[in-house]
A and B are shown apart, each in its own frame.
Chain A
Amino acid sequence: MDVKEFHEVLKILESDARTSAKQISDMTGIPRAEVSKLIKQAEDERIILKYKAIINWEKVVDEQVWAWIEVKVTPEEEVGYDAIAQRIYRFPQVASAFLASGTYDLVILVNGRNMHEVGDFVAQKIAPIKGVQEVTTHFMLKRYKEAGAILNGEEEVKRQPVVL
């Protein structure tokens, strides 16, 4: 496998996951079958984890609530933070989870239908876990940018249609 070609395919998919194998082939000169093989390989090796859309939920009636939750924990012997992190991130309500430096150890992103649902989840599922010392929940008020995409207020700049 050509590492450069592999990176090129990944970069194209990262900027638009819907780019087809044929399009990628036309853009790179890598044969279509080879592109498909590289994508399959990336999926198998869990280099590509998932294909998902970035959605501006604020424009949809069915709004969701997001919270950024800082969790201070006591690391366990031998497994350190990983075991307790796993106990937390296995809940489907947890969209992302990170180990962080600083005042808190774990930072997790949680979503729910409303504040109650998220509050209950934190109080009933996260806080009681053995080793969790402290939980701080920050509800998100407004989303400006998500995965590199600016949600609102980005106007398209018009170019001169023909310049010689």
Chain B
Amino acid sequence: MSTVSNRQQVRQRPLISRRANQLSPSGIRKFFDLLASIEGVISLGVGEPDYSTPWHISEAAVYSLEKGRTMYTSNLGMPELRQELAKHLKETFCVEYSPENELLITVGVSEALDLATRAIINPGDEVIIPDPCYVSYASCVILAGGKPVSVCTREEDAFELDAAEVEAHITDKTKAILLGYPSNPTGAVMSCESMAKLAEVALRHNLIMISDEIYARLVYGVEHTCVASLPGMKEHTIFLGGFSKAYAMTGWRIGYAAASREIIAAMTKIHQYTIMCAPTMAQVAALEALKSGEESVLEMVADYNRRRQFIVKGLCDIGLSCFEPKGAFYAFPSIKSTRLNSEEFAERLLKEEKVAVVPGNAFGSCGEGHVRCCYATSLEDIEEALTRMRRFVNKHRK
């Protein structure tokens, strides 16, 4: 009865939820702290373009602010943006979505991914994800109450997600396959044939493909295969895309989800209660990007491609064999010749030569033996980083 004992009872309850505790603490935190303490580091650890947003895109947003366009938009996003997006998706990826009820504008792909998993996953549902993959996939599945099931991808298979291996991991609890190609961290692109095989498996087992295609525009000499464009797949796919990488708009936090009416309706319910709508000025900028950003995209892609070839050749030359990445802006060289594991490699490289790369195991246990090097940085820095890495590799090669 006494308030004192009540208070004690309250205090005994754990402060942090079981769900939050379930998320693995970022093991890379220690590495970040070390990085922050060292001066003169060349970072190949970045995860965004080194360009600022093309000025005409920023200017459109600035102009909209000057005009006082600072109110909420529709939960789904501005109608004219959805119209333009529908047109863009049809022209670029040959997929047709209704701007009325099959498209949802989100706060980056990050939010879209969260909505997608929460909209379709029930407690105990399993979701197959490639390993290594972007760090959010497993966490989003866990936050939605599901269980991530990793399927290893390997350098010898060009880091593609193999349909047969996926099928071997399917149980009666499997609900979805969550994948992101072109891939962060490997730079791998799934060929059309491999994607078609995977789609067949999804159809056969009635699974949803949650496809994070944020890097779709950043491919070099190959075609990107949009999962939803494959026969019969539109109804089985939640297609996630955004503006961050292709238009150098990471800080704007603007992306989208495209899916069947039923799925978009469910995602929109969560979105309207948690987010309301994506920032209006970012939506205005995204509209401008779709309308007249194509030339900038092509210019940036051409420039990434030059640096891609430069870094891959450089890494191979210094004795770090490197799978040729055909997409995104990452190289994922093997560090096996040094006999160091990826964390040791990254930590020592940072301490001894002041170059930051991301250990491959940060993206899953199958990323061990590799490090992620982002080449969206100046050629000068890439060259200097390679010089320092050459010294490092020579010293540690066994």
- What residues make up the interface of A, taking CB atoms closer than 8 Å to B? 8, 11-12, 16, 19, 23, 26-29, 157, 159-164
Inter-subunit contact A23/B310 (CB<8 Å)? yes
The contact of A163 among B36, B48, B52, B309, by CB within 8 Å, is B48
Q: In whole Å, how far is A28's beta carbon from the nearest beta carbon of chain B? A: 6
The contact of B309 among A11, A27, A160, A162, by CB within 8 Å, is A27
Bound complex: CA A39 to CA B271 (Å): 55
Most chain B CB within a 10 A radius of its CB, from A27, A160, A162, A164: A162
Closest to A25 in B: B313
Q: A161-B35, A164-B134 are in contact. Are A28 and B48 (CB under 8 A)?
A: no
Residues on the B chain within 8 Å of A16, using CB: 379
Inter-subunit contact A161/B46 (CB<8 Å)? yes
Inter-subunit contact A29/B309 (CB<8 Å)? yes
Inter-subunit contact A27/B356 (CB<8 Å)? no
Bound complex: CA A162 to CA B162 (Å): 30
- What residues make up the interface of B, taking CB atoms closer than 8 Å to A? 28, 31-32, 35-36, 41, 43, 45-48, 50, 52, 134-135, 302, 306-307, 309-310, 313-314, 356, 358, 362-363, 379, 383
Residues on the B chain within 8 Å of A12, using CB: 306
Residues on the B chain within 8 Å of A162, using CB: 28, 31-32, 35, 43, 45-47, 356, 358
Q: A161-B41, A161-B356, A164-B28 are in contact. Are A27 and B47 (CB under 8 A)?
A: no
Inter-subunit contact A157/B52 (CB<8 Å)? yes
Bound complex: CA A161 to CA B47 (Å): 8
Inter-subunit contact A159/B48 (CB<8 Å)? yes
Inter-subunit contact A159/B306 (CB<8 Å)? no
Inter-subunit contact A28/B356 (CB<8 Å)? no
Residues on the A chain within 8 Å of B310, using CB: 23, 26-27
Residues on the A chain within 8 Å of B28, using CB: 162, 164
Most chain A CB within a 10 A radius of its CB, from B31, B36, B306, B363: B306
Q: Known A-B contacts: A27-B309, A164-B134. Give 5 more (CB < 8 A).
A: A23-B379, A26-B314, A27-B306, A159-B46, A163-B45
A-B contact pairs, 24 of them (CB 8 A): A8-B302, A11-B302, A16-B379, A23-B310, A27-B306, A27-B307, A27-B379, A28-B309, A29-B309, A159-B48, A161-B43, A161-B46, A161-B356, A162-B31, A162-B43, A162-B45, A162-B46, A162-B47, A162-B358, A163-B45, A163-B46, A163-B48, A164-B134, A164-B362
Residues on the B chain within 8 Å of A159, using CB: 46, 48, 50
Closest to B184 in A: A164
Bound complex: CA A163 to CA B362 (Å): 11
Residues on the B chain within 8 Å of A19, using CB: 379
Closest to A160 in B: B46
Residues on the B chain within 8 Å of A8, using CB: 302, 306
Most chain A CB within a 10 A radius of its CB, from B32, B48, B313, B379: B379
Bound complex: CA A160 to CA B376 (Å): 13
Bound complex: CA A72 to CA B71 (Å): 53
Closest to B306 in A: A27
Bound complex: CA A41 to CA B310 (Å): 24
Q: In whole Å, how far is A35's beta carbon from the nearest beta carbon of chain B? A: 13
Inter-subunit contact A26/B35 (CB<8 Å)? no
Inter-subunit contact A161/B45 (CB<8 Å)? yes
Residues on the A chain within 8 Å of B307, using CB: 27
Bound complex: CA A51 to CA B385 (Å): 27
